[in-house]
Structure 1
Amino acid sequence: MTTATETFEMTAAPIRIDTVRLRVRDLDAVTSFYRDVLGLVPLAEAGSSVTLGTEETPLLHLDGDPSFRPRDPRQAGLFHTAFLLPSRGDLARWFGHVTETDTRLQGASDHIVSEALYLADPEGNGIEVYVDRPPSQWRDRAGDIRMATDPLDLKDLMRAAQDRTWAGFPKGGIIGHVHLQVGDTKEADRFYHDTLGLDIAATYPGASFYGSGGYHHQLAGNTWNSRGAGPRDTFEAGLGEITLGVDPSARQAIMQRLGGDRVADPWGTAFALAQ
């Protein structure tokens, strides 16, 4: 069993994901998906916007407008929003839930640092649902974070369910990271490392993973579908904005570099800084 000392304390990281905002064309359908499939709780509704999360914490904002152009999967923007569950048992129970409801999954991977399941919402916005392994297992003998994309042992995962059923997105669940599509990884490194101040925690061919406080990644950027992409279409459905939780000690330095508390990456992906 994973103990508290074997769990990364995300709130101690200087930079972390607070909330994600999506622009959607069918607000009712997408809201229902995140409620019924992920178990998020609708917390607020104002006009054409809905906020979902756990009972105590907002995680996802949806802004609905049928006039948005459908998202282009080859442009810069969202690769996936990754929902981090507190325990392996939670992931096992969620896997049982989507299996019973015939929800289509797009993949299942063992990343060494984590175990992850993948799917997409009704408008093609990518989703990862995952659980971390203990941080003591993340690094090699040289101290470098090791990541891979290996098949996930689903039978072994299901043994962690402990005969309990999925009862909705659990208390303590958060958005652990957001993986983005970018046009160029070197340009992304300059923005996410040099400007935002994140560490380059790991790299793959065509991808960089950016971490804070020793985490394997709160943000990532890849060119697997979007190599050479230019600025995003602001009237296209998809990712609207990412709000970063930032410690006061890091906030002042970041704001000095940014010139304020809002910024966009080179492709127009918007960020806001929260305290």
Structure 2
Amino acid sequence: MPDLLPAPRLHPDLTLHHVELTVGSLGRSLDFYREVLGLTVLAAGDGAARLGVGGRTLLALRELPGAAPAPRSSPGLYHFALLVPTRADLGRFVRHAGGLGVRLGQSDHLVSEAFYLQDPDGHGIEVYRDRPRGEWRWVGGEVRMAGDPIDLPGLLLEAGPPAPWTGLPDGTVMGHVHLRVADLGAAEAFYAGTLGFDVVSRWPGALFVSVGGYHHHLGLNTWQSLGGEAAPGGSAHLERVWLHLPDAEALDALAGRLRLRRVSFTEPSHAGGTLEVRDPFGTRLAFTA
């Protein structure tokens, strides 16, 4: 009897876990992430550190002393996005960042409200809150998103009276990661056709994919990196994106799809281990169960 083909899509309960970045000065980066975002250092030593909220790792840093800033024209990280539990939480972050004089970009995406900044190495960061799923609008299998201005007075009013900043709240998670890619066709073939994400939105020069009906777990764009080359070795860069699947069966199904399509990957060394694969542009994705 012939072998059954692996399940065609990724498991709908996939979640993002954390990202790994290289930085030019670990001390400078730790100061930034503690002061501006209020992340907690969970572990540090030998030129590396893990940071997070409530004991949950959101960011892993590795020092490359004197590394040049992350290039904006190479495939890799566009931004990682930290999802806070409530609109009031987002308002408190914005008030805190404003008090520090941090310059923020902002956008109402209809499904979410988002603010943007960069760390000292040029890595992009988004802090956002989701609107309730019942308010998202789906048309023809794609979720409606936009780039409208945020009602900033209303957001700050919802944050309540000014109070001392205590950092991003418990319940903050890695909501999504947005990547630069060199070719959208190749990106769609890999992320949707091979890995099994669903395409949920298309913009000029960008593609958004997810599972389980989320507005996006990954963004993929060529806005600055169309046909771009890999980042120089001496620059700060994204090392790895970590994603969690709910069980070993889902991880095995992914491995089966990769074998079927003759895509090279690192096999999990044990049950519950890590499957690592590179996208067509060199970005490393690590899947665990």
In structure 1, the partner of 2:3 is none
Structure 2 residue 209 is the aligned partner of structure 1 residue 210: yes
Which whole-Å CA distance do the structure 2 matches of 1:193 and 1:140 have between them?
19
In structure 2, the partner of 1:36 is 35
Q: How does 1:82-97 map to 2 (within 5 A)?
A: 82-97=81-96
| Contact 2:180–2:221 under 8 Å retained in 1 | yes
Residues 146-190 of structure 1, C-alpha deviations (whole Å, 9 max, x = no match)? 101111111111111022533211110011000000001111011
Q: CA deviation at 1:41?
A: 0.3
| Contact 1:231–1:266 under 8 Å retained in 2 | no
Which whole-Å CA distance do the structure 2 matches of 1:148 and 1:272 have between them?
30
Of 249-258 and 239-248, the range deviating more from structure 2:
249-258
Which whole-Å CA distance do the structure 1 matches of 2:251 and 2:149 have between them?
39
In structure 1, the partner of 2:159 is 161
In structure 2, the partner of 1:242 is 241
The AA in structure 2 aligned to 1:262 is: E
The AA in structure 1 aligned to 2:183 is: D
Q: How does 1:36-55 map to 2 (within 5 A)?
A: 36-55=35-54
Q: How does 1:1-275 map to 2 (within 5 A)?
A: 13-105=12-104, 107-140=105-138, 144-163=142-161, 165=163, 166-248=165-247, 249-258=249-258, 259=265, 260=267, 261-275=275-289
Q: CA deviation at 1:27?
A: 0.9
The AA in structure 1 aligned to 2:250 is: A
Which whole-Å CA distance do the structure 2 matches of 1:143 and 1:133 have between them?
19
Which whole-Å CA distance do the structure 1 matches of 2:69 and 2:158 have between them?
39
In structure 1, the partner of 2:5 is none
The AA in structure 1 aligned to 2:255 is: M
In structure 2, the CA distance between the partners of 1:234 and 1:250, relative to structure 1 (3 Å rule), is farther
| Contact 1:27–1:48 under 8 Å retained in 2 | yes
Normalization by structure 1: what TM-score? 0.91
Which whole-Å CA distance do the structure 2 matches of 1:80 and 1:265 have between them?
17
In structure 2, the CA distance between the partners of 1:235 and 1:196, relative to structure 1 (3 Å rule), is farther
Which whole-Å CA distance do the structure 2 matches of 1:242 and 1:100 have between them?
31
The AA in structure 1 aligned to 2:154 is: D
The AA in structure 1 aligned to 2:280 is: P
Tell me the matched-pair count: 263
Q: CA deviation at 1:241?
A: 0.5
SS in 2 for 1:151: coil
Residues 230-272 of structure 1, C-alpha deviations (whole Å, 9 max, x = no match)? 3444543121100111122421111223353100111111111
SS in 2 for 1:37: helix
Q: Percent identity of the aligned residues?
A: 43
Q: CA deviation at 1:72?
A: 1.5
| Contact 2:58–2:173 under 8 Å retained in 1 | yes
Which whole-Å CA distance do the structure 1 matches of 2:115 and 2:132 have between them?
18
Residues 55-80 of structure 1, C-alpha deviations (whole Å, 9 max, x = no match)? 32111000001154432210010000
Which segments of 5 or more consecutive residues in structure 1 lack a partner in the other structure?
1-11
| Contact 2:83–2:173 under 8 Å retained in 1 | yes
Normalization by structure 2: what TM-score? 0.87
SS in 2 for 1:242: strand
In structure 2, the partner of 1:3 is none
Residues 117-141 of structure 1, C-alpha deviations (whole Å, 9 max, x = no match)? 0110011100100000011111246
Q: CA deviation at 1:214?
A: 0.7
The AA in structure 2 aligned to 1:46 is: G
SS in 1 for 2:110: coil
SS in 1 for 2:143: coil
